């Protein structure tokens, strides 16, 4: 299969799906969600594959949606036809469906996280079955401050109410060590040990017959789906569109278009960084 935003490598029974936009910290563009869905479908159809590892090329796992591209698309769309909430919901639901291909994959998925895993990148990680991260990786949802809502809505299901609210009501990131402590990820290890740790876990999983892997994953996932995950995701996806069209959301987009995304992010996140410095 040919891809523009990722590539795949098969090692024994483990398929590595590698996000491959390193010059943009593997930020999500139009092609990436759909190519990911195709890669997962191909892996599930391949008898040689028992486990999938999702990782990022270069310095990061995934820095979320590509905001240079996203703000321009949002601006052009609104200028042309105005904001259609249902059209917005359908488009973001399509992306969520692609992310959830990791959740629905019959074969287990391990997310190998290093560097930044923020915004939409956390949807990719949280839709996976297990997350192993570098101790200095940074995971969080900064768009909770303005211009976003997590469409996968998996934070509360993975963390529980207190920790999910702590992260989503501030947009603060946590490093890999803290993410393991609060139960967001399975394990944190030093960066130089990350690839070996993930491969050891994937190889151990691959010892099970595929039919057992399918049943064990379904057994756990079904419990969360019975708790209303699909309904939460509908709300999260609707809120994501609303967040991009509140007065603050529109103002932030206009600032990004005028001064650039880096300047807009600095203005959004600066008060939070200053507060952290004052606490110290």
pTM given for the model: 0.96
CA atoms of 62 and 120, how far apart (whole Å):
8
Q: pLDDT tens per residue, the chain (280 residues)?
A: 789 999 999 999 999 999 999 999 999 999 999 999 999 999 999 999 999 999 999 999 999 999 999 999 888 887 788 899 999 999 999 999 999 999 999 999 999 999 999 999 999 999 999 999 999 999 999 999 999 999 999 999 999 999 999 999 999 999 999 999 999 999 999 999 999 999 999 999 999 999 999 999 999 999 999 999 999 999 999 999 999 999 999 999 999 999 999 999 999 999 998 765 454 4
CATH class of 6-279: alpha beta
Q: Where are the domains of the chain?
A: 6-279
């Amino acid at each position: 299969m040919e891809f523009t935003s990722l590539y795949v490598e098969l090692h024994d029974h483990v398929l590595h799906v590698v996000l491959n936009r390193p010059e943009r910290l593997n930020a999500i563009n139009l092609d990436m969600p759909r190519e990911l869905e195709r890669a997962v479908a191909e892996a599930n159809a391949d008898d040689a594959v028992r486990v999938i590892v999702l990782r990022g090329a270069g310095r990061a796992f995934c820095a979320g949606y590509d905001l240079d591209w996203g703000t321009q698309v949002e601006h052009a769309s609104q200028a042309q036809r105005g904001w259609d909430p249902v059209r917005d919901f359908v488009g973001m639901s399509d992306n969520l469906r692609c992310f959830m291909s990791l959740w629905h994959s019959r074969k287990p998925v391990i997310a190998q996280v290093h560097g930044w895993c923020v915004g939409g990148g956390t949807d990719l990680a949280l839709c996976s079955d297990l997350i192993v991260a570098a101790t200095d990786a940074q995971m969080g949802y900064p768009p909770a401050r303005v211009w976003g809502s997590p469409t996968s809505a998996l934070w509360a299901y993975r963390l529980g109410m207190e920790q999910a609210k702590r992260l989503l009501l501030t947009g603060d990131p946590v490093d890999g060590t803290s993410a393991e402590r609060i139960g967001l990820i399975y394990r944190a290890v030093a960066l130089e040990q990350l690839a070996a740790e993930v491969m050891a876990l994937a190889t151990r999983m691959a010892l099970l017959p595929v039919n057992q892997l399918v049943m064990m994953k379904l057994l756990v996932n079904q419990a969360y789906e019975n708790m209303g995950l699909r309904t939460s995701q509908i709300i999260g996806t609707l809120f994501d569109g609303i967040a991009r069209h509140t007065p603050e959301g529109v103002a932030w987009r206009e600032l990004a278009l005028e001064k650039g995304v880096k300047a807009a992010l600095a203005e959004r996140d600066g008060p939070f960084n200053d507060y952290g410095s004052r606490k110290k």
